[in-house]
Amino acid sequence: MASAQDSTHFGDREVPLGDKQRLVDDVFERVAGRYDLMNDLMSFGVHRLWKDALVAMLSPPRVSGRRFRVLDLAGGTGDLAQRILEASHGNAEVTVADVNNEMLAVGAARAKDWRYSQEVSFVEANAEALPFEDDSFDACTISFGIRNVPRIDKALAEAFRVLRRGGRFLCLEFSHPDVPGLEMAYQAYSRSVIPALGRAVTGSAEPYRYLIESIERFPGPAAFSAMLAAAGFVRVTHRPLSGNIAAIHSGWKL
């Protein structure tokens, strides 16, 4: 029997830690083609505003010169990468890294029609063991992906390693509503409406039950900020969004 240190939760099940990545991959392979559509439907389009807020905080330079190199982790479909490229007027160079081939295939196909398609690359990579050299990137972003990593501490350590001195880590992730009355309403919506919506749009409710359970198990802002600090990041902050339904976590490598 696996010890607590060797196991983790996948939905309402406790599974060996080594099995979680395969199970997560299966979830995203099943929904890859309609992943962004479901994000629109689940959030009523608000996830787009949250991602715009992250890019505004990143503030990629627009002046031509040395390329501003960004690593977008778990960014397979490329929607955040496209926003970064547009905001930089093509001065950024974005590497989209994802462990899931199906998600990467969706992103790479879409990128062919982007204005700055030559400035993005798609790389299959595990966030816990990135295939990039130390001090390679000016910024590292991850949007709604960190909670799906089996060993979050390893992913944060890897993000820190590949960032240059002065580089910034920005993570957009679901959080825990802190407005009176909102938490109960949000939980009721998440547990009943979202799986049913997932079944109607993708043919399966199971992936969305997992996604909702993974949100509920994700550490709160204070706990996640402590994990960032433990990885070496400084000036760690978090910005609540929409009553803390989501939050942008920030840390610097100085």
pLDDT, tens only, 103-160: 899 899 999 999 999 999 999 999 999 999 999 999 999 999 898 888 999 999 999 9
**C-alpha–C-alpha distance, residues 138 and 107, integer Å:** 22
- Examine the pLDDT at 58 and tell me if it is beyond 70: yes
- The pairing of beta strand 92-98 with beta strand 137-143: unpaired
Tell whether the model's pLDDT for residue 51 goes beyond 80.
Answer: yes
Question: 233 and 253 in contact (C-beta within 8 Å)?
Answer: yes
Q: Does domain 27-179+205-253 have CATH number 3.40.50.150?
A: yes
pLDDT band at residue 43 using 50, 70 and 90 as cut-offs: confident
Residue 75's DSSP bridge partners are none
Q: What is the pLDDT of residues 1-35, one digit of tens each?
A: 344 456 444 445 554 555 555 655 565 565 555 66
For 45, the token pair is: 């389009």
Look at residue 80 and tell me whether its pLDDT is greater than 50: yes
What is the mean pLDDT of the segment spanning 199-220? 78
Q: Is 196 buried (19+), middle (13-18) or exposed (0-12) by CB count in 10 A?
A: exposed
CB 151 within 8 A of CB 122: no
For the chain, domain boundaries: 27-179+205-253
**How large is the average pLDDT for residues 227-236?**
98
Residue holding tokens 């196991």? Answer: 7
pLDDT in tens, 171-191: 999 888 888 778 788 777 777
CA-only gyration radius of the chain, Å: 17
